[in-house]
Structure 1
Amino acid sequence: MSGDSIAPTPPQNLDAERSVLAAMLLNRDIVDEVVARISAEAFYRPAHQKIFSAMCELTERHTPIDHLSLAERLEARGELKEIGDKAYIIELANNDYAIFNWEHHVDIIKREKLLRDLIRAAENIKSLGYSETDDAAGSIEQAEKMLFDVTNQRIEKSFTDIEKLLGDSVAMLEKMAQNKTGIMGVTTGFTDLDRLLSGMRGGDLIILAARPGVGKTSLALNIAINAARSGAHIAFFSLEMPATQLTHRILSSEASVDNSKLRSGNLNAADWKDIIDTCSKLSELKFSIDDTPGLTITELRAKARRQLQKVEKGVIVLDYLQLMSAGGNGSADRWIAVGDISRGLKILAKELDVPILALSQLSRNVENRPNKRPQLSDLRESGNIEQDADVVMFIDRSLSEEEAEQDNRPPMGMGRLVVGKNRNGATMDIDLVFDNAYTRFRDYYRPQGM
């Protein structure tokens, strides 16, 4: 008898995989739900991975999914014969019962994928243990990261309503009266900006860019909260900062409690009263945060559609654009990948008829020149950002007393919103006050006669 052992079959459930693919074929709405919960890699059988990826491509192209369009897409990818030809697709489509239990079957696929990843991590950790190295601490760190990457998948990242983030220990206040300013779109809460843009309008892609540390996340949160107060539903995608940290920033800004106090927990009785009162008011807002890292445009689209498809007035905020994953174009030139992402955001804004406020980094060029005022050419990694955007705004703020003393620089405590592109109107500079302690921007009211 041979001493060679046969490796056991990795965890998998092909019936569940077939059922989920069949449900996606039978019901277009199920596609977005599935894409928001699993990726192609979750399927064990390579043929099923290819079918799932082809369905995602059809969805991105706004092509209806049926057995004919799916077969055509797979043939164009050179994969039709690999998956079992048209006969296999027809077999999937004939499973009418799949639409009833697809959610349970998605959970099965996720569980089996998690177990396979755990096995793979264990094998890699075993190899680390046998490797001859003097850096045992480094090996342990690598092993911990491998396990963390697996266990982190157990937490299904999705929207968390701000009411739960803030807590519902305080009573709900009466809903704010409807906005009566006559603004065509959703208000930003900043008088001069609303006057220039007539509000944020459905279908618009609005880019907000700035140097690191200038306050683009703070301004985006200020705008989002102001929009929520006007009755808009906010879908805030945070690819950089956890939802809890964003919540602290919102509390600091809205309750006028020093952000350093919130970070340290050194709060007095007056601070607690302000926080509780603010929580009560904010709990009424339709404001949700998704802090899933590395989202692809397909995943963002699926989650946004699920969150906003039945609301009358919605806004999507993305922080920030360059942290999005290119998905299938991960190995492509970053310039092209970011261009694809910005184009995808513009298409999504039009499809859902909502404004998208997308934050963006600036290139290092602005740091290397004496004049720190940002300009359109500073947009990082892709000229397509400017091309796709309806509005491009920059935050210009001095980060030191020395910088503030230079010619044409904003004084300390002030910010300048540079509207560098406005597809439907004029461009201009808008002065704002920046309250650093509360990470808050607000309108600047000029003294009369100035």
Structure 2
Amino acid sequence: MKLSSPVHQLKRQAKLTARESGMPLHAALDQLAQQEGYSSWSHLSVSGSRSGRAQKCLRQLDGGDLVLIAARPGQGKTLFGLELAIQASRAGGESYFFTLEYTPADVLKRVSQLGYNPAEMRDAFHLDCSDEICASYIINELRDAPHKTLVVIDYLQLLDQKRQNPELSSQLNVLKEFARKTGIIIALISQVQRDFDLASKSLPDLSDIRLPNPVDLTVFTKSCFLHSGEIAFEMAN
């Protein structure tokens, strides 16, 4: 949901309200957040930050990109992918969220966590939780999708979980070629190896991606890594 003012300006308004009314600052912040449609200030500030990061990321994506979004569990990669799809649809484009991990109810719950009302989601946001999701299934569903449609796939390591599906590397090459030909943007959410938790670096990179089968990760044109509230957006070499 769109804020009436940037987060820092809203915080300034709350401080002024607290000073003039004598109410505690936390109460003034929560009151203002509720006026903006959020349950609390913490909900507003987190959602506002994530929304801003998603919008910044979207501005760096081009038609035909194959994008990797990677993080350890609990770092918000699914919420970030959802935010990307929602922001793309709110900006007037089409977006799809394909997931082999969650049910429709699970996804809609996360949409609510982002501060959006699932009942008011625009028709331009498409959710697909089919058990048949793989590269060929996705391409078939996108046959009428316009140029620069944003597609988020949750998640990379599940695409070849069924034996009848092609190996992961083959599916990625097919998706990349489809994106190149159509100008559609495809982003895949990915797991990061557990070993990263013991690493000294602050953010994971391509060497930390969990791969049950060999995959040439240079297939991705861009990548986005998240950890502890930090985010790094990288172009392909």
If the length of structure 1 is used for normalisation, what is the TM-score?
0.38
Identical positions, percent: 26
1:42-57 equivalence runs, <5 A: none
What runs of 5+ residues in structure 2 fail to find an aligned partner? 1-49
Deviation sequence 1:160-198 (CA, Å, 0-9, x none): xxxxxxxxxxxxxxxxxxxxxxxxxxxx9536973x774
Q: Which has the higher contact order (CA 8 A, sep 6+)?
A: 2
User: In proportion to residue count, which structure has more helix?
Assistant: 1
Indicate how the Cα distance of structure 1 residues 387 and 193 shifts in structure 2: closer, same or farther if over 3 A, else same. farther
- Where 2:142 maps in the other structure, the secondary structure is helix
Indicate how the Cα distance of structure 1 residues 226 and 376 shifts in structure 2: closer, same or farther if over 3 A, else same. same
Partner of residue 223, structure 1: 84
- On the 8 A contact 1:362/1:378 being kept in 2, the answer is yes
Query: In the alignment, which of 393, 414, 417 is matched to residue 231 of structure 2?
Result: 417
Between the aligned partners of 2:161 and 2:53, the Cα distance in structure 1 is 36
Partner of residue 355, structure 1: 185
Partner of residue 25, structure 1: none
Query: Match for 1:416: what amino acid?
Result: E
Query: Match for 2:217: what amino acid?
Result: E
Indicate how the Cα distance of structure 1 residues 298 and 326 shifts in structure 2: closer, same or farther if over 3 A, else same. farther
Matching of residue 390 in structure 1 with residue 221 in structure 2: yes
Question: How many residues are aligned here?
Answer: 187
- On the 8 A contact 2:151/2:184 being kept in 1, the answer is yes
Indicate how the Cα distance of structure 1 residues 294 and 366 shifts in structure 2: closer, same or farther if over 3 A, else same. farther
- On the 8 A contact 1:237/1:319 being kept in 2, the answer is yes
Partner of residue 297, structure 1: 135
Partner of residue 319, structure 1: 154
- On the 8 A contact 2:58/2:84 being kept in 1, the answer is no
Alpha-carbon offset, residue 328 of structure 1:
6.4
1:188-267 equivalence runs, <5 A: 190=52, 194=56, 198-255=59-116
- On the 8 A contact 1:206/1:390 being kept in 2, the answer is yes
Matching of residue 279 in structure 1 with residue 140 in structure 2: no
If the length of structure 2 is used for normalisation, what is the TM-score?
0.68
Between the aligned partners of 1:230 and 1:215, the Cα distance in structure 2 is 22
Query: Match for 1:423: what amino acid?
Result: A
Deviation sequence 1:192-242 (CA, Å, 0-9, x none): 973x77432110001000001111000111111111101111121011011
- On the 8 A contact 1:374/1:396 being kept in 2, the answer is yes
Deviation sequence 1:132-185 (CA, Å, 0-9, x none): xxxxxxxxxxxxxxxxxxxxxxxxxxxxxxxxxxxxxxxxxxxxxxxxxxxxxx
Matching of residue 346 in structure 1 with residue 176 in structure 2: yes
- On the 8 A contact 2:98/2:133 being kept in 1, the answer is no
Between the aligned partners of 1:192 and 1:220, the Cα distance in structure 2 is 8
Between the aligned partners of 1:328 and 1:240, the Cα distance in structure 2 is 17
Between the aligned partners of 2:106 and 2:52, the Cα distance in structure 1 is 24
Between the aligned partners of 1:221 and 1:192, the Cα distance in structure 2 is 9
